[in-house]
Chain A
Amino acid sequence: MTISDRVLDVLVGVAEIEDLRHDPDVRLYDLQILDSMKTVELIVAFAAEFGVEISPTEFDREDWATPRKIIAYMERKVAA
């Protein structure tokens, strides 16, 4: 499985919305699909899935605004 697939699995699991797989540019925070609580769940889930520590302040809401952006962020994070 690619990183992209794994990220989407985690995201869909936290947001509980399957459609996120098919719409990579949906504005997650603007549409209240993600909020602070779900962001923390994402951070914890990414830590479990990829073994990376993410702090709440290391990214802007804009960096995680859409599924596409989150995938790009995690690909950079895992590669680093």
Chain B
Amino acid sequence: MIPYADFLYFGILLYIALPTVVIRRWLGFSRAWVLLATAVMLMLQYGTLTHALPVNVPEGVGLTGGLALSSTVAEVRELWVVLACGLFQWAVARCSLFLRARTAWYWPYPMALLLTVLPLVAARFLPLVIPGSHLGFLGISYMTFRSLDVIFGIQDRLIQTLPVDQFLAFLFFFPTISSGPIDRYRRFRDDWNRPHPPAEFWKDLDGAVHHIFTGFLYKFILAALIKNSWIDRLAVGGFLNTVSYMYGYSLYLYFDFAGYSAFAVGVSYLLGIHTPENFNRPFLAGNIKDFWNRWHISLSSWLRDHVYMRFMLIATKGRWFTSKYTASYLGFFLAFGLMGLWHGIEPYYLLYGLYHGALLVGHDLLTRWNKPRRVWGDGPLWRALGTLVTFHLVCLGFLLFSGRIGPTWKPVGSVPPVTR
């Protein structure tokens, strides 16, 4: 069952939402209830699907004298895969915390980072290596990024304890598990542990209703309309069709994703967790830098903090480059290249990421060039022009992202694509 995708999900969600309102109104914020609700929703979301996992079974002695192995595929409930992944992440984080305080941290830190991304990498590449296998689950990319946030927090000594219920609540929090927003452990932990005064419930309820109905408008009305009446009718290629598809797909992507995020934030607020917003009128951005402060905010700020700034910090301290701009531009390509790859291993995803890296580098170069010359002005007309240009550059990026014009290749074995 895909969260927020159909009315069946919302019908089931009602069985969680109504008790939530009653509990919060008369008992207050309840961590136990959030954990219980998460467990129930996770069972519904992942309990019905099974995975085909490769299992190597010894078949006796082979012709050459060695042990012959036959690959069979075992059916495993997705719920166990999800739980195993979560517990694995907890084990890595817990060991990291232990080692951080006691021993030399030099090698455990990169090891911890590698182990944390291992499930995601395995999920992406296993189907290529062993056709017929399927390891990923909806939300694995998001879970990986949340886990990495914990490792970075341990590295920075900002996380000193890791209670298992808190960590698993953060990792599995059902409103945001499948497609974000990507919360940060310390922010979530503070929400989890702070007192929730009774008056806050009414504000949360108001915010929840507002967000959920925004979600209905965006995802079930606007995005659905755009899909059915606009982009689905542009199946065939041709230049004009592709241009029309570009605009339609961009708007579809926004309303679908922003609608989904509105649902996730709304349900979070209902439960008492103030998950941060993911979108802020992105098509009004004046330039590409502003765009990434408005689109998929949780992802771009995660990449800024954990990839770009950390890379810049190491490069600056280590004096890797003579110019700070070289480091910065490489940082853009690194962060946004990763952003592309995070979506999937198809080449057009990487191209999409590098394209945005190039846009950001270009924007910075132009800004520096323009500063003494003032060719590009400051007034409202200039800003409007900037917004228009940015909108088109972004739409072109989404056309790449859609796979309609970018390079592509079919993995051997043709398994269903790993869901995000």
Q: Kindly state the separation between the CA atoms of A57 and B153 in the bound complex, as whole angstroms.
A: 8
Whether the Cβ atoms of B156 and A58 lie closer than 8 Å is yes
Q: Which of B289, B310, B324 contacts A56 (CB 8 A)?
A: B310
Query: CB of B343 within 8 A of chain A?
Result: no
List the B side residues contacting A39 at CB < 8 Å: 309
Min CB distance A34 to B, Å, is 12
Whether the Cβ atoms of B158 and A58 lie closer than 8 Å is yes
Whether the Cβ atoms of B152 and A40 lie closer than 8 Å is no
Whether the Cβ atoms of A56 and B316 lie closer than 8 Å is no
List the B side residues contacting A44 at CB < 8 Å: 313, 316-317
Q: Kindly state the separation between the CA atoms of A39 and B328 in the bound complex, as whole angstroms.
A: 12
- Select the stretch in B29-37, B78-86, B171-179, B300-308 that faces chain A: B300-308
Q: Kindly state the separation between the CA atoms of A40 and B156 in the bound complex, as whole angstroms.
A: 15
Q: Kindly state the separation between the CA atoms of A44 and B316 in the bound complex, as whole angstroms.
A: 8
Whether the Cβ atoms of B308 and A36 lie closer than 8 Å is yes
Q: Kindly state the separation between the CA atoms of A39 and B156 in the bound complex, as whole angstroms.
A: 17
Min CB distance B109 to A, Å, is 13
Those of B275-311 within 8 Å (CB) of chain A: 289, 304-306, 308-310
Q: Which of B305, B306, B324 contacts A37 (CB 8 A)?
A: B324
Q: Mark A37-77, 1 if CB is under 8 A from B, else 0.
A: 10111011000000000011110000000000000000000
* Chain A interface category by residue count: 10 to 19
Min CB distance B400 to A, Å, is 24
Nearest A residue (CB) for B316: A44
Whether the Cβ atoms of B152 and A37 lie closer than 8 Å is no
Chain B interface, DSSP helix/strand/loop, else mixed:
helix
Q: Kindly state the separation between the CA atoms of A44 and B315 in the bound complex, as whole angstroms.
A: 11
Min CB distance B196 to A, Å, is 21
Whether the Cβ atoms of B324 and A57 lie closer than 8 Å is no
Q: Mark A16-44, 1 if CB is under 8 A from B, else 0.
A: 00000000000000000001110111011
Query: CB of B143 within 8 A of chain A?
Result: no
Whether the Cβ atoms of B305 and A40 lie closer than 8 Å is no
Q: Which of B155, B184, B312 contacts A40 (CB 8 A)?
A: B312
Q: Mark B73-104, 1 if CB is under 8 A from A, else 0.
A: 00000000000000000000000000000000
Whether the Cβ atoms of B304 and A40 lie closer than 8 Å is no
Q: Kindly state the separation between the CA atoms of A41 and B328 in the bound complex, as whole angstroms.
A: 11
Whether the Cβ atoms of A57 and B158 lie closer than 8 Å is yes
Q: Kindly state the separation between the CA atoms of A25 and B306 in the bound complex, as whole angstroms.
A: 28
Nearest A residue (CB) for B153: A57
Whether the Cβ atoms of A36 and B313 lie closer than 8 Å is no
Min CB distance B83 to A, Å, is 28
Q: Kindly state the separation between the CA atoms of A44 and B304 in the bound complex, as whole angstroms.
A: 17
Q: Kindly state the separation between the CA atoms of A44 and B156 in the bound complex, as whole angstroms.
A: 15
Whether the Cβ atoms of A40 and B306 lie closer than 8 Å is no
Whether the Cβ atoms of A57 and B316 lie closer than 8 Å is no
Nearest A residue (CB) for B311: A40
Q: Kindly state the separation between the CA atoms of A35 and B363 in the bound complex, as whole angstroms.
A: 14
Whether the Cβ atoms of B158 and A40 lie closer than 8 Å is no
Whether the Cβ atoms of A55 and B158 lie closer than 8 Å is yes
Whether the Cβ atoms of B317 and A37 lie closer than 8 Å is no
List the A side residues contacting B308 at CB < 8 Å: 36
Q: Which of A37, A41, A57 contacts B156 (CB 8 A)?
A: A57
List the A side residues contacting B317 at CB < 8 Å: 44
List the A side residues contacting B153 at CB < 8 Å: 57
Min CB distance B57 to A, Å, is 46
List the B side residues contacting A43 at CB < 8 Å: 313
Q: Kindly state the separation between the CA atoms of A37 and B156 in the bound complex, as whole angstroms.
A: 19
List the A side residues contacting B289 at CB < 8 Å: 35
Chain B CB within 10 A, most for which of A36, A41, A44, A58: A36
Min CB distance A52 to B, Å, is 12
6 residue pairs from A and B, CB less than 8 Å apart: A41-B324, A43-B313, A56-B313, A57-B153, A57-B306, A58-B158
Top 7 nearest A-B pairs (CB, nearest first) are A55-B156, A56-B309, A40-B312, A37-B328, A57-B305, A44-B316, A56-B305
Q: A57-B153, A57-B158 are in contact. List 8 more A-B contacts (CB 8 A).
A: A36-B309, A39-B309, A40-B316, A41-B316, A43-B313, A55-B155, A57-B156, A58-B158
